Chain A
């Protein structure tokens, strides 16, 4: 199985801050990496697919980058509604997930 190491586990930031979350794959996954946002009691919401493609309807402050083994989700200017848990998913082979990053407002 491909292991996904996500960092940090917790993140505290202020409104307007630039926020980055990272996922590292244990082997090359090309660009088969998605990013999700999950709020308490809600279904996960797809933000970014195939490493850097913005899902329809997602604000442009969200962006993704990377390929191979190292990937980054960036929120360019944090908004209060962005408080959530974020996780990555690799779908290069049988899907595996990052452990999640809980994002809070400072």
Chain B
């Protein structure tokens, strides 16, 4: 059974950093491009970033470019999202997903507030 489990969320002050993790199981992690998607409270879904299966290619949405970094450790079957210079508008539930968007995690909440 494919499982994606996010962790690392919480309350953080504006301007600070936070790193999310997504532990994958039930499939060969290194065969898949992966992605992060977020949903702000009462808002729609927004694609955040994607990474190729080997980790060499990354792409970011305009709202996070230069502040967020997506990475992966295929030996650990884990996807990461390093979030720096956080803003109040980054407050959202963050989901990891296979980039074919067939399986998603349950999400982790990030709140940016002083």
Which of A's residues lie within 8 Å of B, judged by CB? 34, 41-44, 46, 49, 55, 87, 89, 91, 94-100
Contact = CB atoms under 8 A, between A and B. Distances in A.
B104 A96 contact: no
Contacts of A43: 4, 95, 103-107
B47 A42 contact: no
B104 A97 contact: no
A99 B39 CA distance: 10
A-B residue pairs, 6 tightest by C-beta: A97-B45, A99-B44, A43-B104, A95-B47, A43-B106, A44-B104
- A-side interface mostly: loop
7 contacts: A44-B95, A46-B102, A55-B102, A87-B44, A89-B101, A95-B101, A100-B44
Contacts of B45: 87, 89, 97, 100
Interface string B85-98: 00000000001000
Contact of A41 (B4, B44, B106): B106
B67 interface: no
A95 B49 CA distance: 10
A97 B46 contact: yes
Contacts of A55: 102
A103 B4 CA distance: 26
Contact of A42 (B35, B101, B102, B106): B106
Interface centre among A43, A89, A98 (most CB of B within 10 A): A43
Contacts of B103: 43, 46
